[in-house]
Amino acid sequence: MSRAGALGGFDAVAVVDWSARSRPSPEAPTADAIWIGWAEDEAVATAYRRTRAAAMADLAARLTAARAAGRRVLVGFDFPFGAPAGLAPRLTGQADALALWDWLAQEVRDGDDNANNRFDVAARINAACPGVGPFWGVPRGRSVAGVPARGSEREGHGLPERRRVEASVPRAHPVWKLYTTGSVGSQTLLGLPWLAALRRRFGADLTVWPFQAPEGGIVLAEVWPSLLSREVAAAAEPSVVRDRVQVEVLAAALARADAEGTLADLFAAAEGPDLAEEGWILGVGAEDVLRRAARAEAPPPLAPPPLRDDCFALPAGVDWTPVDEALALLRARLHPVVGTERLAVADADGRCLAGAVTAPRANPPAANSAVDGYGFAHAATGEGPQTLPLALGRAAAGAPLGAPLPPGQAVRILTGAVLPEGVDTVVLEEDCRTDGSRVAFRGPVRPGANTRRAGEDVDAGAEILAPGHRLRPPDLALLSAVGIAEVAVRARLRVGILSTGDELVPVGATTDPARTYDANRPMLLALAARWGHAPVDLGHVGDDRAALAARLDRARETADVVLTSGGASAGDEDHVSALLREAGAMQAWRIALKPGRPLALGLWRGMAVFGLPGNPVAALVCALIFARPALSRLAGGTWTAPQGFAVPAGFEKRKKPGRREYLRARIDADGRAEPFASEGSGRISGLSWAEGLVELPDGAVHVRPGDPVRFLPYAGFDV
């Protein structure tokens, strides 16, 4: 999906790891070659190319195909796009890196076999500068007139040693160095002419950042994979060439940053007076953004945006809103109101993930044995009795054999041990006999028997947990197994609980039978805690609008959302609804639901308030059905629907159409749903007696004993 004109909006991201070799790279993949990582449609593919000519032909073909399909591509190359300020004007008369590109394209010869004249070109550049240098470094035993062998031999060339961007990345090698580690100079001299050719080929459809706005169908940018060295190390498998991992990790990170909308932050981080001449490394100045994208972490929401004033608006003209419609509205309109923090996995139980989590390493990371037994190459076995000589040593979990197993031999291997080279199959020790130097068992054995493939459980790079997932103990095991020690999670949602009503008194405060003990507050506080939130006790206020307003004002300091109980209807003493209505942000929710009178949902100066009914039975049902999923959304969690299942009814009941009904119920000894003896909404004992709710549908029903009914256990509501 292209967002034309936006800074970002790429359909693919390529990252090229360049090479300045003078001969083709070996056929078998090595580090000293060109690697292309290509991230598209949430997958990353890599290509290994042995020469610059082959790599650029491949890349040009891919870019042509992408553009023909209308797809935009960001291409990163890991060599400097410019030289330290002063070189371009000296050679071209213009303080413009792109002029330097064209100058180099004229001078550099680079053959299909990587043979090239870069030392001659460096000598020519040095000759154009005063003194000795700036380019230096030649292969041992070779001498190039005008190019000193050592950097310390240079003097008076008048150019800075480093580009401005390199002040932030001191580990990067300077552009002037032509030989040995880094050989950045050679990479640059041999890279820029190829980029100049790409510019000629794609014309105005290709732009080069930061010299041009990154708006073309193809955008080239300088990258430096070492910005992600830690993320690369975490993703690296010993058997995979590091350069390959680098291009994969960086391409995926840039693609992810784009998808998250943070790529623009990377582009925006380039700064300083010499950009047009020196260029900039994409990601420098915004390393955190890049690293978070590489770890597939959600960016910390700045301050979460406020809820919209009309977020609780119900469709006009509907008298009684069906439960499912009311839930769909809440689901669509509520969004997280809490920020994020990083927590050690061990401390993250119950928290909601701030973003998707991908596995930095596979599980298992290497092929290993599923049993204690003897391992060998399956090819060495056949049908009938088998006897193999036993190799010395053994492979145990954490203590590999350390050497390849010679063909035709077997080796002692224990559960969890990495399969030694030469072992692909294991026989259970109970199926073997051994005299210490040989092992005997009966064939045929299934190839690969009793082994676990690397990554058979989780592939490296696979998304293992989705954003908003609330972590449970098994998730902590999964995160740890794939090498994650810290996760980005949502801060706990602070849920204020406030009771209202003149009749309420603290438990035991009086024996006056006209007064009511506050039963809702402890229940709602405990529910909030069970749902993973931070409960905040806001106490009790009488039926007094000013006192209620003052209490809600204060609550904005300590809570993110408030659940009130009582006073939510439209009567004389229903001050919660009256106050929210006065504030202009209140909706009386007449839900077609029993038990439950109107709910008052509203915003108090931007803070969501759920006005629950005062009656404890109705308060609980409304809390379970409405407040629980709504709070989960506000907390950055997923929408939660209670788990229920069909059970035979242990009762008979006729119900008229027009509203959904919840009965307090248990499962009896015969596995049938048994409702509480009285449906009276004042019967608090029934709440406690029950083990869940029977849900009767909105329409008319006549339930007879044995008919299936839907039972929602309290446990399904985390109660």
Identity of the residue numbered 535: P
Report the alpha-carbon distance of residue 630 to residue 621 in Å, rounded: 14
Report the alpha-carbon distance of residue 499 to residue 376 in Å, rounded: 71
- The first and second tokens of residue 592, run together, are 């077609």
Binding segment (CB under 6 A) for ligand AMP, from list 94-102, 173-181, 410-418, 499-507: 499-507
In DSSP notation, 650-710 reads SS-EEE-SSSEEEEEEEE-TTS-EEE-S---TT-HHHHHH-SEEEEEPSS-EEE-TT-EEE
Which of Mg ion, ligand AMP, none does 19 bind, CB closer than 5 to 8 A by kind?
A: none
Cβ within 8 Å of residue 508, ≥6 positions away: 517
Work out which of 520, 564, 577, 587 binds ligand AMP, going by CB under 6 A: 520
Report the alpha-carbon distance of residue 484 to residue 461 in Å, rounded: 12
Reported in sequence order, the residue ranges of 271-383 that DSSP labels E, i.e. its strands, are: 340-344, 357-358, 368-369, 373-376
Strand 653-655, strand 701-703: pairing:
antiparallel
Rounded to a whole number of angstroms, the minimum distance from the CB of residue 506 to ligand AMP is: 11
Q: Pick between residue 246 and residue 500 the one whose CB is nearest to ligand AMP.
A: 500
CB 110 within 8 A of CB 116: yes
Q: Pick between residue 425 and residue 564 the one whose CB is nearest to ligand AMP.
A: 564
Report the alpha-carbon distance of residue 43 to residue 561 in Å, rounded: 39
Q: Pick between residue 125 and residue 600 the one whose CB is nearest to ligand AMP.
A: 600
CB 247 within 8 A of CB 17: yes
**DSSP label of 370:** S
Question: Binding to ligand AMP by residue 503, rule CB under 6 A?
Answer: yes
Which of Mg ion, ligand AMP, none does 499 bind, CB closer than 5 to 8 A by kind?
A: ligand AMP
Rounded to a whole number of angstroms, the minimum distance from the CB of residue 504 to Mg ion is: 8
Rounded to a whole number of angstroms, the minimum distance from the CB of residue 516 to ligand AMP is: 4
CB 571 within 8 A of CB 500: no
Question: Binding to ligand AMP by residue 174, rule CB under 6 A?
Answer: no
Which of Mg ion, ligand AMP, none does 134 bind, CB closer than 5 to 8 A by kind?
A: none
Question: Binding to ligand AMP by residue 9, rule CB under 6 A?
Answer: no
Closest CA to 234 of 460, 7, 550: 460
Question: Binding to ligand AMP by residue 499, rule CB under 6 A?
Answer: yes
Backbone φ and ψ for 327, nearest 5 degrees, come out as -65, -40
Report the alpha-carbon distance of residue 506 to residue 449 in Å, rounded: 68
Rounded to a whole number of angstroms, the minimum distance from the CB of residue 313 to ligand AMP is: 23
Binding segment (CB under 5 A) for Mg ion, from list 255-263, 418-426, 500-508, 649-657: 500-508
Name the strands in the sheet holding 534-541, side by side, starting at the edge strand that comes first in the sequence.
534-541, 494-500, 561-565, 607-612, 599-604, 586-589
Work out which of 110, 231, 260, 518 binds ligand AMP, going by CB under 6 A: 518
Work out which of 117, 321, 516, 638 binds ligand AMP, going by CB under 6 A: 516
How many separate helices (H) and strands (E) can be counted in the chain? 18, 34
Report the alpha-carbon distance of residue 550 to residue 456 in Å, rounded: 59
Which of Mg ion, ligand AMP, none does 616 bind, CB closer than 5 to 8 A by kind?
A: ligand AMP
* Residue nearest to Mg ion according to CB distances in the complex: 501
* Residue nearest to ligand AMP according to CB distances in the complex: 614
Question: Binding to Mg ion by residue 501, rule CB under 5 A?
Answer: yes
Question: Binding to Mg ion by residue 82, rule CB under 5 A?
Answer: no
Which of ligand AMP, Mg ion, none does 76 bind, CB closer than 5 to 8 A by kind?
A: none
Question: Binding to ligand AMP by residue 92, rule CB under 6 A?
Answer: no
Q: Kindly determine how many residues on this chain lie close enough to bind Mg ion according to the rule CB under 5 A.
A: 4
Q: Pick between residue 575 and residue 672 the one whose CB is nearest to Mg ion.
A: 575
Binding segment (CB under 5 A) for Mg ion, from list 101-109, 128-136, 544-552, 613-621: 613-621
Report the alpha-carbon distance of residue 163 to residue 196 in Å, rounded: 21
Report the alpha-carbon distance of residue 370 to residue 406 in Å, rounded: 22
Binding segment (CB under 5 A) for Mg ion, from list 32-40, 304-312, 404-412, 567-575: 567-575
Cβ within 8 Å of residue 139, ≥6 positions away: 179
Residues pairing with 607 in the sheet: 604
In DSSP notation, 385-437 reads EEEEEEEEEEEBTTB---SPPPTT-EEEE-TTPBPPTT--EEEEGGG-EE-SS
Question: Binding to Mg ion by residue 566, rule CB under 5 A?
Answer: yes
Question: Binding to Mg ion by residue 598, rule CB under 5 A?
Answer: no
Which of Mg ion, ligand AMP, none does 565 bind, CB closer than 5 to 8 A by kind?
A: ligand AMP
Burial class (CB in 10 A: 0-12, 13-18, 19+), 600: buried
- The first and second tokens of residue 641, run together, are 């629907």
Binding segment (CB under 6 A) for ligand AMP, from list 174-182, 324-332, 497-505, 626-634: 497-505
Q: Pick between residue 489 and residue 578 the one whose CB is nearest to ligand AMP.
A: 578
Q: Pick between residue 517 and residue 645 the one whose CB is nearest to ligand AMP.
A: 517
Question: Binding to ligand AMP by residue 601, rule CB under 6 A?
Answer: no
Which of Mg ion, ligand AMP, none does 632 bind, CB closer than 5 to 8 A by kind?
A: none
**DSSP label of 204:** G
Q: Pick between residue 270 and residue 627 the one whose CB is nearest to ligand AMP.
A: 627
Q: Pick between residue 71 and residue 521 the one whose CB is nearest to ligand AMP.
A: 521
Q: Pick between residue 270 and residue 524 the one whose CB is nearest to ligand AMP.
A: 524
Rounded to a whole number of angstroms, the minimum distance from the CB of residue 565 to ligand AMP is: 5
Work out which of 80, 496, 567, 686 binds Mg ion, going by CB under 5 A: 567
Rounded to a whole number of angstroms, the minimum distance from the CB of residue 520 to ligand AMP is: 3
Question: Binding to ligand AMP by residue 614, rule CB under 6 A?
Answer: yes
Residues 552-591 vs ligand AMP: string with x where CB under 6 A?
-------------xxxxx----------------------
Residue ranges that bind ligand AMP, judged by CB under 6 A: 499, 501, 503-504, 516, 518-521, 565-569, 613-616
